[in-house]
Chains A and B, each alone.
Chain A
């Protein structure tokens, strides 16, 4: 018979929270595992009354929704946590943000209504990709060539070896802006498996138009959420905010100017 842990079962979760956080500046070099560890420690330092799983190795109840790749910044990452005492959303946001290293910043906290799923609302991402030393005149035709193609096959090294994937199919839109010194691409990509990431889009631009940036491009995820009818990326927390307004709960959002200064 399997052994059972002795002692009482852990307290039940009474509230589930959805957090939007940003990964900025130097902290873009963190991997998803780095962030997860930093989060667990910050939750302990901030003394958030986390709910734990039962068993011999209890783990705090944290569920991650996607994660920007190592080296890529993001303004729109999401995580859900469960707590065993009701918490004040703004106090939690501030305490956790202070406990995390500057550069991993908690942008917003909302309460998750029972029976709703955040992963189901995440359908696409909007990325910005800065291309220093690549002029708009060079970037624009490359973008046009990419969009004109039916498929753009690229290779990526994954855990199980080199894989080929179509970087074109999930790209809903891509425009270039900027000037002679630095072009910036704005790309909306549907979430597919395996995911098409900014790196794959850049590989695609290299393969269709020989676009090879002289210095590493800087990618940032600006939004992820549901795909609207217009092909825009919506706000995945909007339904929760609405539910809280109906119930008279104040949600917590960082002062946006302050957040921007952190970047």
Chain B
């Protein structure tokens, strides 16, 4: 089948839409491979706007890993804004990739990376624009396999009807193994069903329609079981070991359009065992696997040369926890002294921050902002969530930052955590006031500020809080208002404290999608049919549309929005994702939930003996951390290529 570029038909529409450059492609380090000499072709989608999707590391890594393979190609596609979507429908132009502007429908696989559940309606929109039937059961051999990955794929049940498959965990090896299976299946003339069966049998690929879900009369799940032989009872997540062997992206994509992260990112380790009980990312990415200091140095150098970025983000779930973070920061700061290259640690724990690290980070180039995330307002609550830091330590750390020259810090908290009371939330105001007073004292000026930023807690699958009842939106909003009033009440500090929050309603919809089961798919489809798109954007998100669709579609099952969100689950309940194995032992998760309720903290297994969360033995993995004792050497000085 000849596949031609849609660009000549798209081009006349571009002058009339907003930010047309996002649809043009041609990013530095992107590529368009020859269609006919490749036999397995992936369309990789990040289901949000280009400006959010382009910097996504997951898509960028898989794009490069796949394109490095002979006879395999990968192109990217993003959610199209409604202005262009309307014009595409009017002119019969289907969902396209930005690389070759090829129709998504012509690919073998459409791989969609879900960092959050709020991309689900954008997936439906893209499928519809692509001319791919929404429901997996309506697709035939001419359609791509629609495969989900990313963190939200750990509970893909709400989108099970729309997916052919889901992959749990790290994607690097998984996409290569899937490519091999698909190549063989195409060579053998296998049917769609046979190809999916081969993928399921090869391991690590979940095919929802190979499993049946039975329900109890009260609406809870009775069991989830395979409906054919040869399909595993539980599907395991994938784990990439030895990160130094996977130094991707080597050639970061550099867009022309403005995006949300104007920097290059280097992942310095994967996984986190701090054990914050609300954190799905920390639970599902275990164990900790560090990239070595020298591996990081090489990636930074290759990436800077290839991209021209002037900021490098050292990425991970808790970057200051790298066993050699001090040497890395100092080594990089030495190396790039005088080159206007700045470093940032996007995720830094309060207790891990220290003055030396702060100084190294600000040495070259610009000083970026500092965010501390105590998450819980009171010490009691921080025990519940297992993020142990005392108020004194927090104030001391932030004061250190002020003393080192920062004038503005951000403090991030959550509202709606299990067992939370009004008093816990009000302690946030007291802490912010203390921070400002201490900052004024250490700097001898009134020129210090902090921003209190609040997120609503949403219980997630595969965490100790997966059983918790989510706080209802009304109580969330009431506590947010109490907190605002408390911050404003202290006139001596109120003007130095910024306050940012979102109201409680969107969190309830996120909660529905993150702990929903297959029955929620009907809600999702109705929302999309009624115009729901870009649910991560407050100007597009409509709570009322979601609430009315949920009421309309769930009534047939005798269920409602509250049943999926604010209802606390019991130990024996079968959870919709129990057949999907993140490695975490359900018994351990339950005991950690009980410990949370008893305000018992648990240390990190990097520093104490194994506490049997289950991941390493279940997955055959192990903690991989330094120190290696190696150091970063200065780079040889090369003369300027343009000198006179």
Q: Point out residues on A near B: beta carbons under 8 Å.
A: 3, 26-27, 29-31, 33-35, 37-38, 40-49, 52, 56-58, 60, 70-71, 85-88, 91-92, 95-96, 99, 101-103, 215-216
Question: Known contacts being A34-B258, A91-B642, is A71 close to B15, with CB within 8 Å?
Answer: yes
Bound together, the chains give a CA A143 to CA B306 distance in angstroms of: 49
CA distance A47 to B310 in the complex (A): 12
Question: What is the 8 Å Cβ interface bit string for chain B, positions 225-257, against chain A (1 contact, 0 not)?
Answer: 000000000000000000000000000001011
Which residue of A31, A58, A215 is within 8 Å of B340 (Cβ)? Answer: A58
B305 interfacial by beta-carbon distance below 8 Å: yes
Separation of A49 and B340 alpha carbons in the complex (Å): 11
Question: Is A101 within 8 A of B26, CB to CB?
Answer: yes
Do A3 and B405 form a contact, CB below 8 Å, given A41-B254, A95-B642, A216-B12? yes
- Contact with B310, one of A34, A35, A38, A44 (Cβ below 8 angstroms): A44
Q: Which residues of B contact A60 (CB under 8 A)?
A: 340
B residues bordering A, Cβ < 8 Å? 7, 11-12, 14-16, 19-21, 23-28, 254, 256-258, 262, 304-310, 340, 365-367, 405, 640-644
A-B contact pairs, 23 of them (CB 8 A): A26-B24, A26-B26, A27-B26, A29-B14, A31-B19, A35-B256, A38-B256, A41-B254, A41-B309, A47-B640, A47-B642, A49-B640, A52-B340, A56-B366, A86-B643, A87-B642, A87-B643, A88-B644, A91-B641, A92-B642, A99-B308, A101-B27, A215-B12
- A residues near B306, Cβ cutoff 8 Å: 45
Are A95's CB and B641's CB within 8 A? yes
The DSSP consensus for interface residues of chain B is loop
Contacts of B367 in A (CB 8 A): 56
Q: Tell me the nearest residue of chain A to B256, going by C-beta.
A: A34
| Beta-carbon contact of B307 and A41 below 8 Å | yes
Q: Which residues of chain B come closer than 8 Å to A52, judged between CB atoms? A: 340
19 extra interface residue pairs, beta carbon distance < 8 Å, beyond A34-B21, A41-B254, A85-B640: A26-B25, A29-B20, A35-B256, A37-B258, A38-B256, A41-B307, A44-B304, A45-B307, A47-B642, A56-B367, A58-B366, A71-B14, A71-B15, A85-B643, A87-B644, A88-B642, A101-B26, A101-B27, A216-B15
A91 to B642, CA, bound (A): 5
A132's nearest neighbour on chain B, judged by CB, is B12
**How distant is the Cα of A191 from the Cα of B98 in the complex, in angstroms?**
36
In the complex, A55→B463 CA distance in Å?
Answer: 46
How many angstroms from the CA of A33 to the CA of B365 in the assembled complex?
A: 21
- The 5 A-B pairs of least Cβ separation, nearest first, read A41-B308, A45-B308, A44-B308, A29-B20, A86-B644
Please indicate which of the listed interface residues B19, B257, B644 has the most CB atoms of chain A within 10 Å of its own CB: B644
Q: Which residues of B contact A41 (CB under 8 A)?
A: 28, 254, 307-310
Bound-state CA distance A27–B304 (Å) is 23
Q: Are B20 and A71 in contact (CB under 8 A)?
A: yes
Chain B proximity of A156: nearest CB distance (Å): 15
Q: With a CB–CB cut-off of 8 A, which chain A residues contact B309?
A: 41, 44
Q: Check A46–B642 contact: CB distance below 8 A.
A: yes
Least CB separation from B258: chain A residue: A33
Whether A48 lies near B642 (C-beta < 8 A) is yes
> Which chain B residues lie closer than 8 Å to A45 at the CB level?
305-308
How far is it, in angstroms, between the C-alpha of A44 and the C-alpha of B254 when the chains are bound?
13
Chain B residue nearest to A218 in the complex (CB): B15
Q: Please name the residue on chain A nearest to B639 by beta carbon.
A: A47
Residues of A within 8 A of B641 (CB): 46-47, 91, 95
Q: Which chain A residues lie closer than 8 Å to B365 at the CB level?
A: 58
